[in-house]
Amino acid sequence: MATRRLTDAFLLMRNNAIQNRQILAEQVSTYDPRRTLNTRSNAALADDRMALVSGISLDPEAAIGVTKRLPPKWVEGVDEIQYEITRIHQKMKELASLHDKHMNRPTLDDSSEEEHAIEITTQEITQMFHRCQRAVTGLQTQSRHCTEQENRLLTNVVSSLAQSLQELSLNFRHTQSSYLKRMKNREERSKHFFDSGPLVEEDEDIALYDRGFTADQLVLVQENTVLVEEREREIRQIVQSISDLNEIFRDLAGMVVEQGTVLDRIDFNVEQACVKTEEGLEQLQKAEQYQKKNRKMLVILILFVIVVVLILVLFGTKFR
Amino acid sequence: VLELNYNDKMNVTLAVKQYISKMIESSGPGMKVLLMDKETTSIVSVVYTQSEILQKEVYLFERIDSQNRDNMKHLKAICFLRPTKENVEHLIQELRRPKYSVYFIYFSNVISKSEIKALAEADEQEVVAEVQEFYGDFIAVNPHLFSLNLQGAHCEFFLLLALKKCPMIRYQLSSDMSKRLAESVKQIITKEYELFDFRKTEVPPLLLILDRSDDAITPLLNQWTYQAMVHELLGLNNNRIDLSRVPGISKDLREVVLSAENDEFYANNLYLNFGEIGTNIKNLMEDFQKKKPKDKQKLESISDMKAFVDNYPQFKKMSGTVSKHVTVVGELSRLVSERQLMEVSEVEQELACQNDHSSAQQNVRRLLQNPRLSETDAVRLVMLYALRYEKHSSSILPSLMEELSRKGVSERHRKMVQSVVEYGGKRVRGSELIAPTDAVAITKQFFKGLKGVENVYTQHQPLLHDTLDQLIKGRLKDSQFPYLGPSSLRDRPQDIIVFIIGGATYEEALTVYNLNRTMPGVRIVLGGTAIHNTKRSDALYLFKSDRDLCNINVCDTNSV
């Protein structure tokens, strides 16, 4: 793609313009007003020239513009949420590597440490999601304290953050469900192993004689049951976190603009904004007119009352 | 089957997207506002959705000409504007009293030195950080189709810059405007030779400038492929469709967007014909129903589906797409049966492609006498007849015109029959649009007739097909399409940019798409001053009396 950079030329011209203004300003300031006939008009002229050339406009609004550099408070909230989002990202990576380690472990006996770590990380991530979602909702409520245009800005920011969070939560959901699948697969495989292991008697004849479990077998059964229970607990937790995420996703859905619809079109939103501004202007104008009308009526009423009072006074003095 | 042969080098959508990404990324991190004018808003909107741009930290979108914008010094401003006098004036006002902290200014076109000086002098607060020219001054409708939305001749060559092509130019001899445009493009390439200093390829690219008047028939025909049909019957305006007048339309669907960039179903179906679309929509719905979790309730009724969607918002997007397409196709279907378009189209195609006058005049008469035939379709049929059998000895045109007035067709519309013949009749045309005179063409026609027509509704091939076919095979006659300048291509062309003065059609876009797909090694991009449907064509013909380029601006300026 071809482009052309005019910045250098522009900056040069801008510097020239600044210098010219300064030179002109100096000329004006060294100008001796005593040497003219009409000092007042020349002073005024000098004032105008100063205003024109020094770049300091006498327009108070511009002055206010310079001092009003502070961004609205909610902007800080935005930075915080964005930071949280990057942290969630990192945590998810950590969790993914923990999952892999846990799944690929060589031995079948479980290191409950790893499981514990996974549990903790999963919980942390879910909590972070909740926090972010609450923060984004909190941001949205700030819209009450904003002007109409700031409101639009805020809505867009909220929409963007909500969308990022939604995508992230979708990712998390996928990670969780694939982990779940892997666990279930592993479970089934190990179940087969156990079923076809020492608990199953290879010799049917011996089974006839030995209806109960030996002590060793009992221990195995117990361990297996414990294992199964733990597994189930893990699975339940993952399912729970997935349903939590669904909730978060749903809550965020209200703040995200539906992609692919006309609401997601820049030109549509610009048109709506123009319409709102025009409507706003109309309202203002109507209100102004209404007020004017009111004022007129008030003045008429007061005058009328004065006239009545004066007439009364007149009659009063006449009959005295 | 999208993007098969679209090398990124000849992809106009990508070109515009790259410009805009660069604008945004160069301004660094922080909250940004995008300041645009009326035209650049459309240019940006067809390639980027709002949610995509929001992810790049552009959180506000404003028009440079909107009044009473708030001061927001915590925002950086990225200005993407056409360098018109009004925009420069607005910018000057803006820079004198800047509302944002920093300004990065990008013009979509060449701006004069004096205007830059004016801006520099206005920048008293020194808020401008960058001033550049980024030549994205066209609407990228499809990756190989662009429209200028009627902005005047000079915009066209900027597409060349966006695609980094310095082409050889061939133009249509029979069209004065075509020659003038070719010369002005050449002038600009010469004047701005540093801009056009691209890496020389083995085979230089080719710019082919054509005139709509050479083929006035194509815009008058009813279409049966998805994108073309939607534009013809409903109207595609920068990929937006107004469905508010559809009976019983739901609130959410009063206006919809059909953009291949963001809609996979549309991307796969926009070139397929009506029958195929129907099947694919049915499959889409069945897929959608399959995705529901198996332990949940059956999706028998609409309310079931709605309940399901409420519970699983991630399927909301898919359901949105499904309901949008079901609605659009449903409305197309309704219009087809209400206006009896299949019958009408059959006769149109016969008029455009066959040679049997007696059959044609019978059919046109028959249709005109049908009370259900709409005014638009009636006028179109007569216009087609007039173009086709202009010089025929037993032309029944006068009686057809009487038929029209008997039907109550307005005078304005009746005048168009005359206008279209003036605009695109035999006298004006350079190419053999209709009656083939040389032996080869006649033989081709004969064999085509023998084979029978695959689909009677889509038998028409726009003239562009033959032109491009000949061009690709190196057989395009110099006598009809001369080169501008002494040099000419020795080999067959590889990269071809076609520009139709007076506008292109979606049927021609389909032709280009198919050629791109079936001819390896050739990449074609098509563009026009606008993209036609019958309404727009009619306006074009009516006002075609003085064929000045500027006058094309009579059509509504907002549409593709």
Shortest Cα–Cα distance, B363 to chain A (Å): 42
Q: What is the pLDDT of residues B120-149, one digit of tens each?
A: 999 999 999 999 999 988 999 999 999 987
**Whole-number Cα distances in Å, B399 to B344, B354, B395:** 19, 21, 9
Interface of B with A in 61-100 (CB under 8 A): 61-63, 66-75, 96-99
Rounded CA-CA distance B207/B172 in Å is 11
Q: What angle do CA B159, B164, B167 make, to 5 degrees?
A: 80
Q: Which of A69-78, A93-102, B390-399, B425-434 has the lowest mean pLDDT?
A: B425-434
Residue B172: which of B498, B467, B480, B442 has the closest Cα?
A: B480
Q: Is the pLDDT of residue A42 over 80?
A: no
Length of chain A: 320
Q: How far is CA B223 from the centre of its chain?
A: 14
Q: Using CA of residue B105, residue B111, residue B114, residue B115, what is the dihedral sign? A: negative
Token duo for residue A93: 């990576």
Closest residue of chain B to A152, computed from CA coordinates: B60
Percent of chain A at pLDDT exceeding 70:
78
Residue B470: which of B146, B210, B219 has the closest Cα?
A: B210
Rounded CA-CA distance A143/A153 in Å is 10
Closest residue of chain A to B116, computed from CA coordinates: A10
**B116 and chain A in contact, CB less than 8 A:** yes
Task: Please tell me which of the candidates A4, A18, A257 has its beta carbon nearest to residue B195.
Answer: A4
Q: Whole-angstrom distance between the N-terminal and C-terminal Cα of chain B?
A: 24
Q: Is the pLDDT of residue B313 over 60?
A: no
Percent of chain B at pLDDT exceeding 70:
83
pLDDT band at B546 (very low <50, low <70, confident <90, very high): very low
**B539 and chain A in contact, CB less than 8 A:** no
Rounded CA-CA distance B257/B324 in Å is 9
**Whole-number Cα distances in Å, A35 to A31, A42, A47, B77, B525:** 9, 10, 17, 48, 72
**Which single residue is written with the structure tokens 């049997």?**
B356
**Whole-number Cα distances in Å, A112 to A118, A231, A233, B463:** 10, 11, 13, 75
Q: Tell which wins on pLDDT, B427 or A270.
A: A270
Average pLDDT over residues B447-472: 79
pLDDT score at B1: 30
Q: Is the pLDDT of residue B387 over 50?
A: yes
pLDDT score at B108: 92
**Contact assessment for residue A249 and residue A174, using Cβ atoms and an 8 Å cutoff:** no
pLDDT band at B553 (very low <50, low <70, confident <90, very high): very low
What is the 3-state secondary structure of A195-220? HCCCCCCCCHHHHHHCCCCCHHHHHH
Give SS3 for B128. strand
pLDDT band at B185 (very low <50, low <70, confident <90, very high): confident
Q: Is the pLDDT of residue A57 over 50?
A: no
pLDDT score at B252: 85
Alpha helices in B76-144 (DSSP H): 85-96, 113-122
Rounded CA-CA distance B244/B87 in Å is 33
Q: Is the pLDDT of residue B272 over 70?
A: yes
Provide the 8-state DSSP code for B134.
Answer: E
Rounded CA-CA distance B328/B278 in Å is 11
Q: Is the pLDDT of residue A261 over 80?
A: yes
Shortest Cα–Cα distance, B149 to chain A (Å): 15
Shortest Cα–Cα distance, A143 to chain B (Å): 15
Interface of B with A in 234-273 (CB under 8 A): 238, 240, 252, 255-257, 259, 262-263
Q: How far is CA B295 from the centre of its chain?
A: 47
pLDDT band at A246 (very low <50, low <70, confident <90, very high): confident
Q: What is the pLDDT of residues A66-94, one digit of tens each?
A: 445 567 788 888 888 989 999 998 998 98
Q: What is the pLDDT of residues B198-256, one digit of tens each?
A: 877 788 899 999 998 889 899 999 999 999 999 999 999 999 999 998 888 888 889 99
Rounded CA-CA distance B203/B305 in Å is 56
Q: Is the pLDDT of residue B427 over 80?
A: no
**B195 and chain A in contact, CB less than 8 A:** yes
pLDDT score at A79: 87
Q: With contacts defined as CB-CB under 8 Å, which chain B residues touch A74?
A: none
* C-beta atoms of A149 and B45 within 8 A: no
What is the 3-state secondary structure of chain A? CCEEECHHHHHHHHHHHHHHHHHHHHHHHCCCHHHCCCHHHHHHHHHHHHHHHHCCCCCHHHHHHHHCCCCCCHHHHHHHHHHHHHHHHHHHHHHHHHHHHHHCCCCCCCCHHHHHHHHHHHHHHHHHHHHHHHHHHHHHHHHHHCCHHHHHHHHHHHHHHHHHHHHHHHHHHHHHHHHHHHHHHHHHHHHHHHHCCCCCCCCHHHHHHCCCCCHHHHHHHHHHHHHHHHHHHHHHHHHHHHHHHHHHHHHHHCCCCCCCEHHHCHHHHHHHHHHHHHHHHHHHHHHHHHHHHHHHHHHHHHHHHHHHHHHHHHHHHHCC
Residue B219: which of B547, B554, B529 has the closest Cα?
A: B529
Rounded CA-CA distance A180/A186 in Å is 10
pLDDT score at B192: 85
Average pLDDT over residues A170-198: 73
Q: Tell which wins on pLDDT, A125 or A44.
A: A125
Q: Tell which wins on pLDDT, A110 or B472.
A: B472
Beta bridge partners of B307: none
pLDDT band at B98 (very low <50, low <70, confident <90, very high): very high
Give SS3 for B558. coil
Residue B550: which of B502, B488, B512 has the closest Cα?
A: B502
Residue B463: which of B503, B427, B432 has the closest Cα?
A: B432
Rounded CA-CA distance A51/A59 in Å is 10
Shortest Cα–Cα distance, B472 to chain A (Å): 26
Residue type at position B303: S
**Contact assessment for residue B83 and residue B151, using Cβ atoms and an 8 Å cutoff:** no
pLDDT score at A213: 61
pLDDT score at B269: 93
Residue B352: which of B275, B423, B456 has the closest Cα?
A: B456
Average per-residue pLDDT for chain B = 83
Average per-residue pLDDT for chain A = 78
**Contact assessment for residue B138 and residue B158, using Cβ atoms and an 8 Å cutoff:** yes
**Contact assessment for residue B310 and residue A249, using Cβ atoms and an 8 Å cutoff:** no
A:B CB pairs within 8 Å: 195
**B41 and chain A in contact, CB less than 8 A:** yes
pLDDT band at B555 (very low <50, low <70, confident <90, very high): very low
Q: Is the pLDDT of residue B154 over 70?
A: no
**Contact assessment for residue B33 and residue B75, using Cβ atoms and an 8 Å cutoff:** yes
Average pLDDT over residues A24-42: 64
pLDDT score at A32: 57
Q: What is the pLDDT of residues B405-417, one digit of tens each?
A: 888 888 888 888 8
> Residue B33: which H helix or E strand, with range?
strand B32-36
pLDDT score at A18: 92
Q: With contacts defined as CB-CB under 8 Å, which chain B residues touch A59?
A: 97
Rounded CA-CA distance B343/B363 in Å is 10
Average pLDDT over residues A208-234: 71
Residue type at position B273: N
pLDDT score at B415: 86
